[in-house]
Amino acid sequence: MADEIFVSPKKHGRIMVLLSGRGSNFMKIHDAVRDGEVDAEIALVFSNKEDAPGLRIARERGLETLFLNAKLYPDKEEYDREIIREAGKRGVDLICLAGYMKVLTPLFCAAFKNRIMNIHPALLPSFPGLHVQQKAIDWGVRFSGCTVHFVAAEIDMGPIILQAAVPVLRDDTEETLSARILLEEHKIYPEAVRLYFEGKIEVQDRRVLIRE
Ligand code: GAR
């Protein structure tokens, strides 16, 4: 039997961003929210890294931030439970992973089914995992790109929401290809969040249809 159809809620959304690093995707989402392009607000920026530049930027932008030290929790599930509690306290509708380099437990994925998005710097399902820009060069693919997808328990394999392709050039290095892909990430991630809170994202089994 087919799964139930999920349709994203049309509402003013409350977003929680999870990041571990530089935070450029977070900034683009925040810019879009601030400029009124996305009907939402960022309720919390969370990191597993105390010194993540993205966390500092969030504080500078006047957003609430939170760091939790995973070493103080008995296991990954307890850590994720705490994050889920923090999200619950703030009435979070959507979690945006933006360079969050910790794998979410199945418990977390199930608690927020169709409510966690991730951005990945490759055209999934090709090149899941890490260092994927270098892998695309090493494989000699002619095109790579980026994918915004819902997060499911199987890493990098949740339903695909938006993708953008870029050419892989003969002289590309990991840095040049990453930079070309990142420009596209900065377009499609805010766009996916906009569509989400406009009630335009429909998920059936593993397919996403955009209702325009
Ligand atoms: C981005 O390129 C994102 O696609 C990638 O980390 C970078 C974070 O940059 N994410 C992954 O590789 C997830 N598997 P940012 O901190 O500037 O947004």
pLDDT in tens, 14-57: 999 999 999 999 999 999 999 999 999 999 999 999 999 999 99
d(CA 194, CA 38): 5
The pLDDT, as a whole number, for residue 19 is 98
| Identity of the amino acid at 57 | I
Angle 20-24-25 from CA coordinates, rounded to 5°: 85
Strands 6-7, 201-204: pairing is antiparallel
89 CB neighbour count, 10 Å cutoff = 10
User: Is it the case that residue 68 has pLDDT exceeding 70?
Assistant: yes
Query: Roughly how many angstroms between the first and final C-alpha of the chain, as a whole number?
Result: 27
Residues 77-94, mean pLDDT to the nearest whole number: 98
Report phi then psi at 27, rounded to 5: -60, -40
- pLDDT of 2 reads 61
- Structure tokens of 85? 């509690």
| 53 cis-preceded (ω within 30 degrees of 0) | no
**What pLDDT is attached to residue 57?**
98
CB 36: neighbour CB atoms within 10 A? 7
pLDDT of the residue at 210:
98
Element (H, E) at 202: strand 201-204
Query: Quick check: 1 pLDDT over 70?
Result: no
CB atoms inside a 10 Å sphere around CB 140: 7
pLDDT of residue 11: 98
Nearest CA to ligand 1 atom 10: 99
70: pLDDT confidence band, cut at 50, 70 and 90?
very high
Percent of the chain at pLDDT exceeding 70 = 99
Q: How far apart are CA 136 and CA 185, in angstroms?
A: 16
Q: What is d(CA 156, CA 123) in angstroms, rounded to the nearest whole number?
A: 10
Identify the pLDDT of residue 91.
Answer: 98
Instruction: Determine the pLDDT at residue 212.
Output: 81
* Lining residues, ligand 1, CB within 6 Å: 19, 21-25, 54, 98-99, 119-121, 182, 185
3-state secondary structure of 43: strand
Whether pLDDT at 89 is above 80: yes
Tens of pLDDT, residue by residue over 93-140, are 999 999 999 999 999 999 999 999 999 999 999 999 999 999 999 999
Distance 165 CA to ligand 1 centre (A): 16
Distance from residue 45's CA to the centre of ligand 1 (Å): 15
Active site (annotated) includes residue 120: yes
Distance 144 CA to ligand 1 centre (A): 15
Ligand 1, atom 14, lies closest to the CA of 120
